[in-house]
Amino acid sequence: MADKRRVVVLGTGGAGLTAAIIAHDAGAKVKVFEKADRIGGTTAWSGGMVWIPNNHLEAEAGVPDSREEALTYLMSLSHGLIERHLAEAFLDAGPMMVRYLNEHTPANFRAIPDFPDYHAEFPGGKTGGGRSLDTPPFSFLELGKWADRVTPSPYYPDPRLSIYDTPLGQAQPQPVPLEELERRSANQERASGQALIGRLLKGCLDRGIKPRTGCRAVELAMRKGRVRGIVIETADGRRTIKADAVILCTGGFEWDEELKRAFLRGPMTHPVSISTNTGDGLRMAMRAGAMLGNMREAWWMPVAEVPREQISTGVTLVAGMRSLPRSIMVNRKGRRFTNESANYNAFGAAFHEQDVSAFDYANLPCWMLFDQGYIDTYGFPLAGTPRGLPPPQWVTSAPTLLQLADRLGIPAAALETTVARWNAQVAAGADDDFHRGEAAHDRWWGDHGQRGSSAASLGPLDRGPYYAVELKSGSLGTKGGPKVDVNANVLDIDGHPIEGLYAAGNVMSSPMGMTYGGAGGTIAPGMVFGFLAGRHAAGSPVFD
Ligand SMILES: Cc1cc2nc3c(=O)[nH]c(=O)nc-3n(C[C@H](O)[C@H](O)[C@H](O)COP(=O)(O)OP(=O)(O)OC[C@H]3O[C@@H](n4cnc5c(N)ncnc54)[C@H](O)[C@@H]3O)c2cc1C
């Protein structure tokens, strides 16, 4: 019998752990190295959702879908950046991966009802959900001594809550009955990204794969143009691990200023990912002669700075609360500039818009404004302040719009005109300027009590005091890197596969281009290309 192929996986996010499990099951001998001192990467900090069109759970839930519809949808969002053959590989392998992980690992995905695609009105889009999946809460008792080795999420102060309880980034948590919370506590259950990573880690441990932390990969060992191993740096120095294949799953380069300056299409000052994602995989691939793709792009996200006592990273994601009635966003001219309810990824474009005459970014800085009616109805979700209580001191406030404009240093007359126009549009029931509240996305993410109608997102600003929070251009991670083929094999600058080198997740040139298909749109391609890489690296490719 031929020797088992030696496969090294770098990084322990969703892409890495999936690649490890699959390579093992396809017959390889697998080692996993992680730079951080804990396991899980940004994936462990996330909502843990995956967006896999045409999956079997969607079919079981009675949602009609097809490869053709999903391909039409993705290509309609491409703007020339999505390569059709990679989108097809994602759509073909995605359902296979979900079925495989559900049947052979503790992953146990389930369909999230009703969660619409982020551009559901585009051809092939789904307004009624089905493509977004997550995993149920997972008991960390099952991980034994490995339970404490998973990196906890700074964004989920209560790890027991899942997307069903408090949709991440959404404004209105669903109360979980106390008995259920107590049951989850007693059982040490964690939800969302913690559950996804906990389950994948259990899948690894069941197979005897024990990720090694504090191990930073720094250099590929190459001979005659192919990968022979990897140099790992630890507190004890460097050593070379022999390998037939190396799968880069090292996340993006959002924490490296030089790489960001070199490649990104516009400002991205506030990443919310794990800070060990400094582009190590990208640099290794570049040294090996990889062709790069999609370098200008990231999974964009509006972000607010918060005190570190509240969230240890000092930043938080601003998603659902932008969609709630009685709030708008304005730029330094005191003008609205976009549909505030739009999906977070699409916001990157608004942040990168330039004012040609001023030779400056048109919408940076910008602020989210809201009124006392917002606070009375929804509280201040960014700080977890319940409704009725004043928002924290770090929020700018003023009794009138004129005074608020003064505090922000924006023209008061323009702000008054903007709010008056907004209030008139709300009264007429339509935002003629930016079409806020028209898309299924806006109607889902806004006020849950009004879900499905434009009232979920439209509401006047007419009750002082008035409040403002500055929003920054952030991201969940970059998504440019080495280009790959349909088996996640990295391509060189002439388009030939580099033997033994693979990439999956945010380290790779994303098959999604500038698009974020729906909730779970980033972890999904990472895991699917991790699946493809694992199979090919082990000598059992999905695609010939
Ligand atoms: C709060 C929040 C919620 C989110 N919710 C969702 C969601 O529900 N669905 C979704 O699709 N996306 C979501 N995202 C985005 C998503 O988490 C990331 O895009 C995704 O997890 C990236 O996965 P990855 O495996 O590529 O990288 P990561 O999960 O970041 O893993 C990369 C790992 O590689 C390690 N590494 C880096 N360099 C090296 C090296 N040299 N050697 C060894 N290891 C190295 C890092 O330490 C890290 O552990 C969310 C993000 C955040 C912050």
Residue 381: what pLDDT?
86
Q: What angle do CA 226, 232, 237 make, to 5 degrees?
A: 140
Q: How many other C-beta atoms lie within 10 A of the C-beta of residue 466?
A: 25
pLDDT digits (tens, 9 = 90+) for 484-526: 999 999 999 999 999 999 999 999 999 999 999 999 999 999 9
Domain that holds residue 371: 303-475
Q: Determine the distance separating the centroid of ligand 1 and the alpha carbon of 391, expressed in angstroms.
A: 31
Ligand 1 proximity of 426 Cβ (cutoff 6 Å): no
Q: Is residue 256 part of a domain?
A: no
Ligand 1 atom, smallest distance to 39 CA? 49
Exposure on the CB side of residue 393, measured as CA atoms within 13 A:
1
Q: How many other C-beta atoms lie within 10 A of the C-beta of residue 388?
A: 9
Residue 166: what pLDDT?
66
Ligand 1 proximity of 12 Cβ (cutoff 6 Å): yes
Q: Is the model more confident about 167 or about 434?
A: 434
Mutate to test the pocket of ligand 1, among 8, 35, 43, 300 (most ligand atoms within 8 A of CB): 43
> CATH number for the domain including 428?
3.90.700.10
Compute, in degrees rounded to 10, the torsion defined by CA atoms 253, 520, 384, 319: 80
Q: Is residue 38 part of a domain?
A: yes
Q: Which of 384, 388, 385 is nearest to 373 (CA)?
A: 388
* Parallel, antiparallel or unpaired: strands 237-242 and 226-234: antiparallel
Q: Determine the distance separating the centroid of ligand 1 and the alpha carbon of 476, expressed in angstroms.
A: 8
Number of domains in the chain: 2
H or E segment at 9? Answer: strand 6-10
Pair 434, 493 in one domain:
no
Q: Is residue 337 part of a domain?
A: yes
What residue has token string 């009955």?
177
Ligand 1 proximity of 273 Cβ (cutoff 6 Å): yes
Beta bridge partners of 451: none
Ligand 1 proximity of 250 Cβ (cutoff 6 Å): yes
Mutate to test the pocket of ligand 1, among 39, 46, 273 (most ligand atoms within 8 A of CB): 46
pLDDT digits (tens, 9 = 90+) for 414-437: 999 999 999 999 999 999 999 999
Average pLDDT for residues 189-209, to the nearest whole number?
Answer: 97
49: helix, coil or strand? Answer: coil
Pair 52, 146 in one domain:
yes
pTM of this prediction exceeds 0.95: yes
Tokens found for residue 348: 């990157």
Q: Is residue 320 part of a domain?
A: yes
Compute, in degrees rounded to 10, the torsion defined by CA atoms 421, 382, 261, 296: -70
Tokens found for residue 275: 């800070």
- 172 pLDDT exceeds 70? no
Nearest CA to ligand 1 atom 52: 46
Ligand 1 proximity of 529 Cβ (cutoff 6 Å): no
Q: Is residue 329 part of a domain?
A: yes
Ligand 1 atom, smallest distance to 216 CA? 42
- In this structure, which amino acid lies at residue 527? M
Q: Determine the distance separating the centroid of ligand 1 and the alpha carbon of 416, expressed in angstroms.
A: 42
Tokens found for residue 186: 């007693």
For 393-445, what is the HEC assignment?
CCCEEECCHHHHHHHHCCCHHHHHHHHHHHHHHHHHCCCCCCCCCCCHHHHHH
Q: Determine the distance separating the centroid of ligand 1 and the alpha carbon of 464, expressed in angstroms.
A: 41
Q: Which of 323, 367, 337 is nearest to 459 (CA)?
A: 323
Q: How many other C-beta atoms lie within 10 A of the C-beta of residue 201?
A: 30
Nearest CA to ligand 1 atom 38: 250
Pair 460, 485 in one domain:
no
Residue pair 25/48 in contact by the 8 Å Cβ criterion: no
Residue 170: what pLDDT?
57
Pair 507, 433 in one domain:
no
Question: Worst-scoring range by mean pLDDT, 101-115, 324-338, 396-410?
Answer: 101-115
Ligand 1 atom, smallest distance to 193 CA? 8
Q: Is 267 exposed, middle or buried (0-12, 13-18, 19+ CB in 10 A)?
A: middle
Kindly indicate the confidence band of residue 1, based on its pLDDT and cuts at 50, 70 and 90. low
Of 432, 453, 475, which residue constitutes the final position of a domain? 475
pLDDT digits (tens, 9 = 90+) for 44-103: 999 999 999 999 999 898 999 999 999 999 999 999 999 999 999 999 999 999 999 999
Q: Determine the distance separating the centroid of ligand 1 and the alpha carbon of 191, expressed in angstroms.
A: 16
- 203 pLDDT exceeds 60? yes
